[in-house]
Chain A
Amino acid sequence: MDFTLNEDQVLLRETARAMFGNECPPELVRDAFYDVTSTGPEAASSFFDRHLRDWAALGDAAVVDLCLFMEEAGRVLAPGPVWVNTSMFLPLLRAIEHPSADLVASGQVTGTVAVCGSDGYWVLNNDPMRSFVPHANEVDVVAILSAGNQVSCVAVAELDLQEVATLDRSRPVFQFAVPAGLDSTEIGAEQLAAVLNRGTVALAAELIGVGRWLMDTTLDYVRERVQFDRPVGSFQGLQWKLVDAALLLERADAAVYYAAMCLDAGSPEQDLAVHVAKAAAGTAARRWARDGLQSLGGIGFTWEHDLHLRLRRAQASEQLLGSASWHQDRLAELIFAPD
Chain B
Amino acid sequence: MQLALGAEEESFRADLLAFLDAEVPEELKGGRDWIGDESPEIPKWASEFQAKLFDHGWMVPSYPPELGGRNATPLQTLIFLEELASRGVSRSAHFGGYAIVGPSLLEFGNEQQRSMAPSAIRGDTVWCVGMSEPDAGSDLASLQTRAVPDGDSFIVTGQKVWTSYAMVAEKCFCYVRTDTSVAKHKGISVLIIDMDSPGLEVRPLRHLTGAIEFAEVFLNEVVVPKENLVGELNSGWRITMGSLAHERGALWVESVSSAQRALEGLVEIARRQGLEQDGVVRRKLAELYEEVHSLRALGYKGFASFAQGSSAPEHSFMKLATSELRQRLYAFGMELQGPYAAVVDPEFVEEGGRWQQSWQISLAGTIGGGTSEIQRNVVATRVLGLPRG
Residues of A within 8 A of B (CB): 1-6, 9, 64, 219, 222-223, 230-231, 233-236, 239-240, 242-244, 246-247, 250-255, 257-258, 260-262, 264-265, 267, 272-273, 275-276, 279-280, 325, 328-329, 331-332, 335-336
Return chain B residues, CB-CB under 8 Å to A231.
Answer: 386-387
Tell me, rounded to whole Å, the shortest Cβ–Cβ distance linking B365 to chain A.
Answer: 16
The 5 nearest A-B residue pairs measured at CB: A328-B286, A254-B297, A239-B380, A3-B304, A332-B282
B3 touches A262 (CB 8 A): yes
Question: Which chain A residue shows the least CB distance to B381?
Answer: A239
A336 touches B267 (CB 8 A): yes
Q: How far is the CA of A246 from the CA of B313 in the complex (A)?
A: 11
Residues of B within 8 A of A (CB): 1-5, 75, 267, 270-271, 276, 282-283, 285-287, 289-291, 293-295, 297-298, 300-301, 303-305, 307-308, 314, 317, 320-321, 376-377, 379-381, 383-389
A257-B1, A280-B290 known; A1 vs B379 contact (CB < 8 Å): no
Return chain A residues, CB-CB under 8 Å to B283.
Answer: 325, 328-329, 332
Question: Which chain A residue shows the least CB distance to B303?
Answer: A3
A223-B385, A247-B320, A329-B283 known; A279 vs B300 contact (CB < 8 Å): no
A64-B1, A335-B289 known; A251 vs B282 contact (CB < 8 Å): no
Secondary structure class of chain A's binding surface, majority of residues: helix
B301 touches A328 (CB 8 A): no
Q: How far is the CA of A150 from the CA of B71 in the complex (A)?
A: 56
Question: Which chain A residue shows the least CB distance to B281?
Answer: A332
A234 touches B387 (CB 8 A): yes
Q: How far is the CA of A253 from the CA of B300 in the complex (A)?
A: 12
A3-B304, A242-B384, A254-B314 known; A261 vs B286 contact (CB < 8 Å): no
Tell me, rounded to whole Å, the shortest Cβ–Cβ distance linking A148 to chain B.
Answer: 29
Return chain A residues, CB-CB under 8 Å to B304.
Answer: 2-4
Tell me, rounded to whole Å, the shortest Cβ–Cβ distance linking A220 to chain B.
Answer: 9
Tell me, rounded to whole Å, the shortest Cβ–Cβ distance linking A230 to chain B.
Answer: 8
Looking at B282, B293, B294, B380, the one whose CB has the most chain A CB atoms below 10 A away is B294
Which of A1, A222, A252, A331 interacts with B2 by CB under 8 Å? A1
Question: Which chain B residue shows the least CB distance to A279?
Answer: B290
Which of A223, A239, A273, A332 interacts with B376 by CB under 8 Å? A239
B377 touches A239 (CB 8 A): yes
B377 touches A253 (CB 8 A): no
B4 touches A265 (CB 8 A): yes
Q: A243-B376, A255-B297, A332-B285 are in contact. List 11 more A-B contacts (CB 8 A).
A: A2-B75, A4-B1, A230-B387, A231-B387, A234-B389, A236-B389, A251-B294, A252-B294, A261-B2, A280-B290, A336-B282
Question: Which chain B residue shows the least CB distance to A324?
Answer: B290
B387 touches A223 (CB 8 A): yes
A246 touches B1 (CB 8 A): no
Q: How far is the CA of A244 from the CA of B270 in the complex (A)?
A: 29
Return chain A residues, CB-CB under 8 Å to B317.
Answer: 246-247, 250-251
Tell me, rounded to whole Å, the shortest Cβ–Cβ distance linking B250 to chain A.
Answer: 13
Q: How far is the CA of A253 from the CA of B383 in the complex (A)?
A: 16
Return chain B residues, CB-CB under 8 Å to A264.
Answer: 2-3
Return chain B residues, CB-CB under 8 Å to A236.
Answer: 377, 380, 389
Return chain A residues, CB-CB under 8 Å to B321.
Answer: 247, 251
Q: How far is the CA of A262 from the CA of B2 in the complex (A)?
A: 8
Can you spell out 16 A-B residue pairs with CB atoms less than 8 angstroms apart? A1-B3, A1-B300, A3-B304, A219-B384, A231-B387, A236-B377, A236-B380, A239-B376, A239-B377, A239-B384, A247-B321, A254-B294, A265-B4, A276-B294, A279-B290, A335-B267
Looking at B2, B75, B290, the one whose CB has the most chain A CB atoms below 10 A away is B290
B297 touches A251 (CB 8 A): yes
Return chain B residues, CB-CB under 8 Å to A252.
Answer: 294
Tell me, rounded to whole Å, the shortest Cβ–Cβ distance linking B115 to chain A.
Answer: 38
Q: How far is the CA of A244 from the CA of B375 in the complex (A)?
A: 11
Return chain A residues, CB-CB under 8 Å to B384.
Answer: 219, 239, 242-243, 246
A235-B389, A254-B301 known; A273 vs B293 contact (CB < 8 Å): yes
Question: Which chain A residue shows the least CB distance to B4?
Answer: A265
Return chain A residues, CB-CB under 8 Å to B305.
Answer: 3
Tell me, rounded to whole Å, the shortest Cβ–Cβ distance linking A108 to chain B.
Answer: 30
Q: How far is the CA of A4 from the CA of B295 in the complex (A)?
A: 17
Return chain A residues, CB-CB under 8 Å to B1.
Answer: 1-6, 9, 64, 257, 260-261
Looking at B75, B307, B389, the one whose CB has the most chain A CB atoms below 10 A away is B389
Q: How far is the CA of A321 from the CA of B293 in the complex (A)?
A: 20
A2-B5, A261-B2 known; A233 vs B295 contact (CB < 8 Å): no
Q: How far is the CA of A279 from the CA of B377 in the complex (A)?
A: 28
A265 touches B2 (CB 8 A): yes
Tell me, rounded to whole Å, the shortest Cβ–Cβ distance linking A206 to chain B.
Answer: 17
Return chain A residues, CB-CB under 8 Å to B270.
Answer: 336
Q: How far is the CA of A328 from the CA of B5 in the complex (A)?
A: 29
Return chain B residues, CB-CB under 8 Å to A279.
Answer: 290
Q: How far is the CA of A195 from the CA of B349 in the complex (A)?
A: 46
Looking at B4, B270, B293, the one whose CB has the most chain A CB atoms below 10 A away is B293
